[in-house]
Amino acid sequence: MKIIRTTSAMADWSRCLHREGVTIGFVPTMGALHEGHRALIRAARLACDAVVVSIFVNPTQFGPSEDLTKYPRQLRLDQALCRREGVDVIFAPTVETMYPAGAQTVVTVPRIACRWEGHARPHHFQGVATVVTKLLSLVQPDKTWFGQKDYQQAALVQQLVKDLNLPGHPIVHPTVRESDGLALSSRNIYLSRSERQAAPVLYRALQAGAGAIRAGERNGPRIQRHMARVAAAEPLASVDYLAVCDPTTLDPLSTLHRRAVLLGALRIGKVRLLDNLLISVRRTT
Applying CB under 6 A, the residues found at the interface with ligand AMP are 29-30, 36-37, 39-40, 146-147, 149-150, 173, 175-176, 183-186
- Residue-wise burial string across 214-251, b where 16 or more C-beta atoms lie within 10 A, e elsewhere: eeebbebeebbebbbebbeebebbebbbbbbbbbeebe
Nearer to ligand AMP, 129 or 183 (CB): 183
Nearer to ligand AMP, 176 or 239 (CB): 176
Least distance (Å) between residue 102 CB and ligand AMP: 27
Least distance from ligand AMP to the Cβ atom of residue 271, Å: 13
Active site annotation includes 37: yes
**What's the closest the beta carbon of residue 149 comes to ligand AMP, in angstroms?**
4
Note whether 201 and 226 are within 8 A (CB): no
* The one catalytic residue among 37, 124, 173, 226: 37
Question: What CA–CA distance (Å, rounded) separates 223 from 161?
Answer: 32
252 close to 243: Cβ distance less than 8 angstroms:
yes
Q: Kindly tell me which of 176 and 256 has the beta carbon lying closer to ligand AMP.
A: 176
**Closest residue to ligand AMP, Cβ-based?**
147
- Residue 231 is given by DSSP the state H
Quick one: CA torsion of 146, 152, 155, 157, rounded to 10 degrees? -60
Specify whether the CB–CB gap between 155 and 250 falls below 8 A.
Answer: yes
Q: How far is the CB of 180 from ligand AMP (least distance, A)?
A: 13
Contact in structure between 139 and 92 (CB atoms under 8 Å): no
List 51's β-bridge partners, or say none: 25
Strands (DSSP E) contained in the chain are 2-4, 24-29, 50-55, 89-91, 143-147, 170-173, 237-245, 259-268, 271-280
Measured from the CB atom, is 89 or 212 closer to ligand AMP? 89
CB of 157 to ligand AMP, least distance (A): 8
Catalytic residues: 37
